[in-house]
Structure 1
Amino acid sequence: MSYRTRLQQRLEETGRPLRVGLVGSGQMGRGFAAQLLKMPGINLSVVFDVDRARAEEAFTQAGVKPSSVTDTDAAITAIENDESVALSNVDEVGALPLDVLVEATGVPDVGARTAVEALSSGMDYATLNVEQDVTVGRYMLQLAKESGQLYSVCRGDEPVETKILVDFARDLNFEIICAGKGKNNPLDPYATPDKLAAEAAQKKMNPKMLCEFVDGSKAMIEMAALANTTGLEMSKRGMYGPASTVPTLHDTFRLQEDGGVLDRPGVVDYCIGPVAPGVFVVVRSDDPYVVHEMSYLSMGPGPYFSLYRPYHLASIEAPLTVYEMALDRTPSHTSEHWTSEVGAEAKRDLKAGEVITGIGTDTIRGVADKADDFLADGCVPLGVLAGARLTRDVPVDQMLTYDDVELDESSLIVQMRRHQEALARGEQAPTLAELREAFRRR
């Protein structure tokens, strides 16, 4: 039975729609809102944005007029009356009568803050913020289990859609050689928002978001998230990123001994070329009859075959995660494994005393790595570097380590990363209640 039908049945049985909140009404948030508002049996009860007018636009673009209330008590009443509200103060989200909170800012610290509030208040929490997941996803999963609620990365982005292909291949008992994505933009590891300003304006994008795509950071983040949800490994630091086409995927991503780029099976990687915006899994079979059948089905001569989905619909598909969580009590994507990390390389010579301006800027770019190598080299996660101050010079193209920076220890995402690292060492970490109380005392 379709989710559309089941949501309608839920509405008839409970007498009220599923209440969803959204944090962030930029490009991703607005796409999510537009699609969600088309579904019966569900209400986008609140949109939070630092620019309240932009939050209102997320409703009005879909023909919904939000209530004019701005304070929390009035917002509670409006939501209980199945109205929609636009608010700017996300710190009050825990007081609202919501079933699911969706976060779409792309800012790891905002994601951490809203996740703690939502889970503490009995809401399920879904995020389009993969940057947050690759930074503290393992700790987030523990906090969600403790709360009895669900945490999930949203459908639509490449990690979740590729995971679905990986699960399909595993259910068919194929050997996974490589899973990955086609990169949407030509790679320029030294891209800056200023250089991309005109292109960003043409595409109606935030220049920092476009910069994160072009400099490769987003691909690194997404493939690390894919590795951590499937248990696959990072192919190598920075990945291979070869050129490929859809018909040649199974030739490109085969083992080196068979003419491909990979030194071992069971990895994630990406490619440049007309594979984007699709995702893929390259598999192998040693069964002669299976190889014969796959060849008969026009999948190639074998023993390598590629499974390919030619699209991912980003925020347009993200509502599917809300439906899965609410109706099936199942997350779409969690970091059940920890095989990969994302660190940062300097885009230019950085000087002691400089402040790192974060993802999608002129200072650093994301670089994915095998978790063990990352830990052994003392690398610092990309997601905690916004606002960090350099303690010494770092030359261009060098990976940043904890010794290179002084982190903003007041940041919740930094604190949560410290707790996740403590868990990895077998130590105790704060409970959800303790974490929330410590944050509210700040």
Structure 2
Amino acid sequence: MNYELLFDELKGRRIRVAITGACGGFGRSLLVQCRNIPAIEIVALCDINTRGTQDLLADLRYRHDKNRLCGTPAEAAAAQAAGETAIISDFALLDALDLDMVVESTGKPDISVSIAVNALTRGVHVGMVSKETDSVAGPWLNQLALKHHAVYTTVDGDQPSNLIGLVTWAKVLGFEIIAAGKSSEYDYIFHPATGRLDYTSTQVDAPALADLWALDDKDIKGTLRRRAEALSMLPQSATPDYCEMNVVANSTGFAPATPALNYPLCHIGELADIFIPEEDGGILTRTGVVDVFNCLRRDDEVSFGGGVFIVVRCQDQETWRMLADKGHVVSKNLKYACIYLPYHIMGLESPHSLFSAVLHRRASGAVDQQVHAVMAGYADRPLKKGETLAMGGHHHSIEHVSARLLARADAKGVAPFYLLANKTLTADVAQGELIPLSALPEDDSLLYQAWRQTGL
């Protein structure tokens, strides 16, 4: 694909963009790249931390005299008229601005859905980075966008959009997709010389991994189970993964491989032997699924980079034997192959989504989202009526509640995970049960109303 030809309409164009949640990592990475693209005009940056936004612009060497702190609609409009970036803390001020697109990255579903609705109802495109919002309200927001002749889309640079892109690339080429997925956020990095393993800022002794480094072709599940046991002191799943796979499932129609997702600890070169049907030695009980793996590698091997993958069925063994000889990841039985993108570079790649929406009026993600899966909350211990489900932390976790990803048919009456945030239960929930919508208080929020309109 020649992207200069695809987006040749950029010449002489100005794409007016606002970024919400501007102080976060995604906002920073997008602002870094926008410096290099004359066609993008940053009209507004919205974040409750306006001082942090101004410091960020200074750190990125944006001109100090080209941004203005604004507290009223008139001030914001005046900043745009003067060719300055409006720095605001109240997203309602975006309504005073002439915009082509809002990139929403607050990560706060109740606020995020309001930002999206305000933009879409006035015909402004929305790039949804806040996957938490997308997992609950994405299909509803997609329909709202169509009604108002706007585009609602996931954003390239984040795993959901990248994986949707890889899936649709493969479908157009006629591949049969067995599984689609991503690596978890952080690698598990083994040091053979010492028998120790790094995971984020934690280092543990894991000498047993040396004898489990290669898959036992006759017992792949057994090898994976023993690897997980050897690292049982470390977390092996994360809430955001379920959220991202929820977005991908809704956009592709694929089902969760299993409610808990599989999370095998494995090497990149093993993916085509693992994410395949059980009858061929893999771990899948069905095909056409989404799943996640934990990237296990030595300290001298490259990372998967939080990237995405698909496993496809090989249609001609001679072709794939040739490709295996060239280094591609092909299963030992030559029936399956893994095709992957070993990166997710956040906002550095997102301008493609802006160009697609504004220039072509096309989503870079799915164009017809439906509720195919529901990210639910699972009670890890008995939860009592009157107990508040406090959400916090980088991974938006809820203490004593873990995530599950359910196929739509199994999710009737279940509350989506991000509707649980900071809610006080109106009923007891037994340990081992999924938290139902009926155990939450009635809610007049946009997020709650969007979910009720799904019919689940």
- State TM-score, norm by structure 2: 0.80
- The separation in 2 between residues aligned to 1:92 and 1:69, in whole angstroms, is 9
1:97 is aligned to 2:95: no
The change in CA–CA distance for 1:55 and 1:364 in structure 2 (over 3 A counts) is farther
**Structure 1 unaligned runs (5+)?**
12-16, 188-197, 201-212, 425-442
1:336 is aligned to 2:333: no
Aligned length: 392
Name the aligned partner's letter for residue 248 of structure 2: L
- The separation in 1 between residues aligned to 2:85 and 2:242, in whole angstroms, is 37
Tell me if structure 1 keeps the 8 A contact 2:50–2:69. no
1:71 is aligned to 2:65: no
Q: What is the aligned partner in structure 2 of residue 239 from structure 1?
A: 261
Q: What is the aligned partner in structure 2 of residue 62 from structure 1?
A: 60
Q: What is the aligned partner in structure 1 of residue 283 from structure 2?
A: 261
Q: Which of 351, 354, 363 matches 2:387?
A: 354
Tell me if structure 2 keeps the 8 A contact 1:43–1:82. no
- The separation in 1 between residues aligned to 2:10 and 2:147, in whole angstroms, is 30
SS in 1 for 2:447: helix
Name the aligned partner's letter for residue 384 of structure 2: K
The change in CA–CA distance for 1:328 and 1:305 in structure 2 (over 3 A counts) is same
The answer to which of 65-74 and 303-312 deviates more is: 65-74
Q: What is the aligned partner in structure 1 of residue 401 from structure 2?
A: 364
Report the identity percentage: 27
C-alpha deviations, 1:205-260, integer Å up to 9, x for none?
Answer: xxxxxxxx975211111111111111211112121221221111000111100000
**Structure 2 unaligned runs (5+)?**
189-199, 203-234, 297-303
Name the aligned partner's letter for residue 282 of structure 1: V
Query: How far 1:365 sits from its partner (Å)?
Result: 3.1
Name the aligned partner's letter for residue 336 of structure 2: Y
1:389 is aligned to 2:387: no
1:413 is aligned to 2:447: yes
SS in 1 for 2:374: strand
- The separation in 1 between residues aligned to 2:93 and 2:56, in whole angstroms, is 20
Tell me if structure 2 keeps the 8 A contact 1:345–1:400. yes
SS in 2 for 1:148: coil
1:277 is aligned to 2:279: no
Query: How far 1:288 sits from its partner (Å)?
Result: 4.5
Tell me if structure 2 keeps the 8 A contact 1:185–1:214. no
Q: What is the aligned partner in structure 1 of residue 414 from structure 2?
A: 379
The answer to which of 380-389 and 273-282 deviates more is: 273-282
Tell me if structure 1 keeps the 8 A contact 2:184–2:237. no
Name whichever structure is richer in helix by fraction: 1
Query: How far 1:280 sits from its partner (Å)?
Result: 0.7
Tell me if structure 2 keeps the 8 A contact 1:55–1:87. no
Query: How far 1:362 sits from its partner (Å)?
Result: 2.4
Q: What is the aligned partner in structure 2 of residue 9 from structure 1?
A: 11
Name the aligned partner's letter for residue 264 of structure 2: P
C-alpha deviations, 1:417-438, integer Å up to 9, x for none?
Answer: 11232xx7xxxxxxxxxxxxxx
- The separation in 2 between residues aligned to 1:94 and 1:420, in whole angstroms, is 28
The answer to which of 234-243 and 358-367 deviates more is: 358-367
Query: How far 1:101 sits from its partner (Å)?
Result: 0.7
Q: What is the aligned partner in structure 2 of residue 180 from structure 1?
A: 181
C-alpha deviations, 1:111-160, integer Å up to 9, x for none?
Answer: 11001110122211111011111111111111000000111111111111
Query: How far 1:357 sits from its partner (Å)?
Result: 2.0
Name whichever structure is richer in strand by fraction: 2
Query: How far 1:29 sits from its partner (Å)?
Result: 2.0
Query: How far 1:39 sits from its partner (Å)?
Result: 1.4
SS in 1 for 2:397: coil
Query: How far 1:403 sits from its partner (Å)?
Result: 3.0
- The separation in 1 between residues aligned to 2:7 and 2:439, in whole angstroms, is 54
The change in CA–CA distance for 1:394 and 1:134 in structure 2 (over 3 A counts) is same
- State TM-score, norm by structure 1: 0.82
Q: Which of 26, 35, 50 matches 1:37?
A: 35
